[in-house]
Amino acid sequence: MASAAAGPKSNYQWRLGARPQGRVKETDFEWVEASTPELADGQILVRIIYLSLDPTNRVWMEPVDTYMPMLPLGSVMRGITIGVVEASRHRSYAPGDLVQGLGGWQHYYAGDAAGWSKLPRIPGVPLTAFFGALGHIGFTAYFGLLDIGQPKAGETLVVSAAGGAVGSLAGQMGKIAGCRVVGVAGTDEKCDWIMRELGFDAAINYKTTNVGEALQRECPKGIDIDFENVGGPVMDAVLGRINIGARVVLCGLISQYNVQGPAAGPTNFVQILSKRARVQGLIVTDFASRFGEATAQIVQWMQQGKLKYRIDTVEGLRQAPAALNRLFDGANIGKLLVKVSDEPVR
């Protein structure tokens, strides 16, 4: 079979050009036309189809090692991608394979196959699901809620950024676990969606409502689990109503990622002491050895109609920098991704 990848390909890339000061600007990136190198042994050439945009991308741009090594200036911007193998010098991969990995913000990934994984073709499951309930997003919600949050039926769960990719799934998993689930989101449209479509018990628009008063009303038995994606004043309001022995699943702090200089810590931090709460940080890759378990359970929930998700697609890699800010503006509903090229015809 003739590989479609004979010869180098023109490869547009977004490279990290500067360390952002606060909010990301397009000038923090450089739009570069490169060409794909010849493959060495053990390498694959992947045409990127979808690029995942996640709040943590902003963290990756900082000049510090975090849970991943610092990204040097001039590097292709790091990004989680889904693509199709077009050429392979690795015996486990063949042209046509659908794969997921850190392909970066570019049209083609050419490099080591290590760290990539093949995606199964599941009838009725769209490819984008692997960025949703069946990918890092779904696994984050799953391990965060179940392992760290340890929900019990009858408890009250509050989810911030509840209209976002992770939050919308975590809330639904909370309902499956028998919790009262209250979501906090930034638009009436998101609030409507999580209540009417996803079955949350209540939704609070933090931009138009006094969150503390609303939590008082919607959480009459206090709060047992905080699935925290945001930080800042919303988190403080939630901490103000936690019960003894509460669990805070620290999944994200999106309100702080654009902050320059010292971030504002939770002013209600003393509640953690006074209520003997447990706060635990979550990076989903720590649970990689259990992704199979999560996949099996999530597929079952999807088939039972208990887990819904929504994809918010931006067309074209060129739009990635501007699209990233949609996460911080709260403009996206559900999982935000960039469509870089077309899916192969099956």
Q: Which residues bind a copy of itself (CB under 8 A)?
A: 59, 66-67, 231, 236, 244, 250-253, 256, 262-270, 272-283, 286
Q: How far apart are CA 320 and CA 297, in angstroms?
A: 32
Closest distance between a copy of itself and the C-beta of residue 156, in Å?
19
Which residue number, 187 or 268, has a Cβ lying nearer to a copy of itself? 268
Which residue number, 267 or 300, has a Cβ lying nearer to a copy of itself? 267
Q: How far apart are CA 204 and CA 160, in angstroms?
A: 9
Q: Which residues on neighbouring strands pair with residue 12, listed in sequence order?
A: 33
List the structure tokens of 29. Answer: 């990136």
Which residue number, 83 or 149, has a Cβ lying nearer to a copy of itself? 149
Closest distance between a copy of itself and the C-beta of residue 304, in Å?
31
Closest distance between a copy of itself and the C-beta of residue 47, in Å?
32
Closest distance between a copy of itself and the C-beta of residue 225, in Å?
15
Which residue number, 285 or 300, has a Cβ lying nearer to a copy of itself? 285
Task: Tell which residue, 206, 201, 194, has the closest CA to residue 169.
Answer: 194
Closest distance between a copy of itself and the C-beta of residue 106, in Å?
26
Task: State the DSSP H helix or E strand holding residue 83, giving kind and residue range, or none if neither.
Answer: strand 81-88
Give the up-direction half-sphere exposure of residue 176: CA atoms within 13 A in the CB hemisphere: 22
Q: How far apart are CA 337 and CA 111, in angstroms?
A: 23
* DSSP-derived secondary structure letter, 95: T
For residue 176, the tally of other CB atoms under 10 A from its CB is: 18
Closest distance between a copy of itself and the C-beta of residue 240, in Å?
11
Dihedral over Cα of 170, 171, 176, 182: its sign: positive
Which residue number, 219 or 340, has a Cβ lying nearer to a copy of itself? 219
Q: How far apart are CA 1 and CA 338, in angstroms?
A: 30
Closest distance between a copy of itself and the C-beta of residue 266, in Å?
4
Contacts of 37 (CB under 8 A, 6+ apart): 8, 110
- What does the CA dihedral 332, 128, 119, 229 come to, rounded to 10 degrees? 20
Which residue number, 43 or 271, has a Cβ lying nearer to a copy of itself? 271
Which residue number, 142 or 193, has a Cβ lying nearer to a copy of itself? 142
